[in-house]
Amino acid sequence: MYHLGALGFYFFWVVAISGTYIYAFYKTGIELSFPSVEYYTNEQWYLGGIMRSLHRYASDAMVLVMVLHLLREYILGRYRGARWFAWITGVILLWMIFAAGINGYWMVWDKLAQYSVVATVEWFDWLPIFSEPLARTFITYEALNDRFFTLISFAHVTVPLLILFLLWIHIMRISYPVVNPRKGLAIGMLLMMLALSLIVPVQSQGVADVSIEPNNLYIDWFYLWIYPLLGVWTAGQVWALVLGITLLLCILPWLPSKQVQIPVAEVSLKDCSGCRLCVADCPYEAVVMQKRTDGMNFAEEAVVIPNRCVSCGICVGACPSSSPFRGEMQYISGIEMPSLQMSGLRTALMNCIAMLEGDVRVLVVGCDNAADVEALRSQSVAVFSLPCIAMLPPSFIEYALREGRVDGIFITGCRDGDCLHRLGVAWTDERLATAREPRLRSRVERVRIKEYWAASSDLDQLVKELKIFQMALSVLPQTR
């Protein structure tokens, strides 16, 4: 479930590679299309037949993971604000893949293809845009000619190229997009589809005959789900359904929401050195660099693109000037979240710590989108939650541990691989492991820091992990 988007890309390439092999043996024409498909299905079953089945099952799998990906993003709320672009392009992609898949069935020119073609043109004939009904073309073989097969063959090559281009557009506003699933998952999926291709090979459903209405067909419900509706509803009702679903999906990002929109990040030029760390860490390419405009002795300055910013605060956690070791009471970082400035965060954390009692005092820092850390609060445990855990600069951890202010710091947030803001957990891991700037300095006792990534459903385990951490801290030398 964490790799639905990457699996969509993966299945696309499986479809493209298997389709290229099939296309090498495919012949266009009324009398040629069906026999050519039957040749590599039956005569060359050991390779061509497997490729055809692999092409079909990977196509079905691509639809499945795309629909699940769309549903998952909706459930997690990752379609509003700056994410509208990926959402809308994803909806367009889904319909284009449906079109390519349906077109692929026509190339076989069996009874299912005949049924699909006739139902489609009759459906389109309902629209008042054609001077003569398209369905007349498929009444007799005299009306139907080889140019139709040349056209659908050309479309079946061209549409996937457009899909590939749109896939690139779909991720163009995302930093470090994951377009390849993990190796084990990719191999497992391929082996599963190969096994399915051998056990249940894809077969044609008899050559098309325009003089006979096809019946008793096996429908591919992944692509042809709408066609049975055309047999019980009017064409207008089916158009209303399709256009209604499309319109609803397209307006979802702008429908009223109960969530309060957090103001986007703001740059303070007098505190910005143009180090580019905020640009490197932003998951949505919402921060860019431009030539310096304030005359300070730096080549560049950071600029926030408001309509791309999701207010995660990851850029703030990357900024070197976010350090709490600065002497000013109300200092400003190079880039700030107006709703929670770094000086205010330092004050709030110190106030929470000052109220702690007991022999083992722990500061828990969590994420607003993961397990509710407020349930962990006690006399010896202070809690604080951020829009994203990566908003916390490593220097704050050092500051809290300095001079025994607390005995340990417990870091938590979204499950690993399921960060609401994509890269918050990964960047936090790397910063604490000194693999990414800004790094946690080596002089900090790593044994006094614990990370545990937990979703809201993992609260019980989170409580247990905190108790284990407290027990481990109790045997360490006192820092006060």
Q: CATH number for the domain including 109?
A: 1.20.810.10
Let me know whether 189 and 273 are in one domain: no
Instruction: State mean pLDDT over 41-52.
Output: 93
Let me know whether 309 and 425 are in one domain: yes
Domain assignment present for residue 187? The answer is yes
pLDDT score at 335 = 96
Let me know whether 279 and 322 are in one domain: yes
Let me know whether 340 and 361 are in one domain: yes
DSSP β-bridge partners for residue 362: 381, 408
Let me know whether 328 and 465 are in one domain: yes
Per residue in 177-205, pLDDT (tens digit) is: 999 999 999 999 999 999 999 999 999 99
Number of domains comprising the chain: 2
pLDDT score at 140 = 58
Domain assignment present for residue 479? The answer is no
Residue 13, both tokens: 């390439």
Given a cut of 60, whether residue 170 has pLDDT beyond it is yes
Let me know whether 240 and 297 are in one domain: no
Let me know whether 297 and 250 are in one domain: no
Let me know whether 38 and 87 are in one domain: yes
Domain assignment present for residue 54? The answer is yes
Let me know whether 177 and 64 are in one domain: yes
Instruction: State mean pLDDT over 459-466.
Output: 96
Let me know whether 398 and 423 are in one domain: yes
Residue after which a domain boundary falls, among 197, 226, 254: 254
Residue after which a domain boundary falls, among 254, 276, 301: 254
Instruction: State mean pLDDT over 153-161.
Output: 93
Per cent of the chain over pLDDT 90 is 78
pLDDT score at 22 = 94
Q: Return d(Cα 157, Cα 19) in angstroms, integer.
A: 9
Domain assignment present for residue 151? The answer is yes
SS3 20: helix
CA angle 122, 124, 125 (to 5 degrees): 60
Given a cut of 60, whether residue 139 has pLDDT beyond it is no
Let me know whether 328 and 231 are in one domain: no
pLDDT score at 135 = 63
pLDDT score at 136 = 65
Instruction: State mean pLDDT over 279-307.
Output: 94
Q: Return d(Cα 83, Cα 284) in angstroms, integer.
A: 9
Domain assignment present for residue 259? The answer is no
Domain assignment present for residue 273? The answer is yes
Among the ranges given (140-149, 288-297, 409-418, 442-451), the one the predictor scored with the smallest mean pLDDT:
140-149
Let me know whether 285 and 169 are in one domain: no
Residue after which a domain boundary falls, among 231, 254, 277: 254
Per cent of the chain over pLDDT 70 is 97
Q: Return d(Cα 97, Cα 332) in angstroms, integer.
A: 49
pLDDT score at 131 = 65
pLDDT tier, 383 (very low <50, low <70, confident <90, very high otherwise): very high
Spatial CB neighbours of 412, under 8 Å, sequence gap ≥ 6? 364, 365, 366, 367, 370, 371, 373, 389, 451, 452, 453, 454, 462
Domain assignment present for residue 343? The answer is yes
Q: Mean pLDDT of all residues in the chain?
A: 92
What is the extent of the structural domain holding 220? 4-254
Instruction: State mean pLDDT over 241-248.
Output: 96
Nearest to 405, CA basis, from 350, 326, 327 = 350
Nearest to 55, CA basis, from 117, 100, 116, 109 = 100
Domain assignment present for residue 261? The answer is no
Q: Which residue has the higher pLDDT, 450 or 134?
A: 450
Cα 147 to Cα 154, 179, 298: the distances in Å are: 10, 37, 64
Q: Which residue has the higher pLDDT, 456 or 56?
A: 56
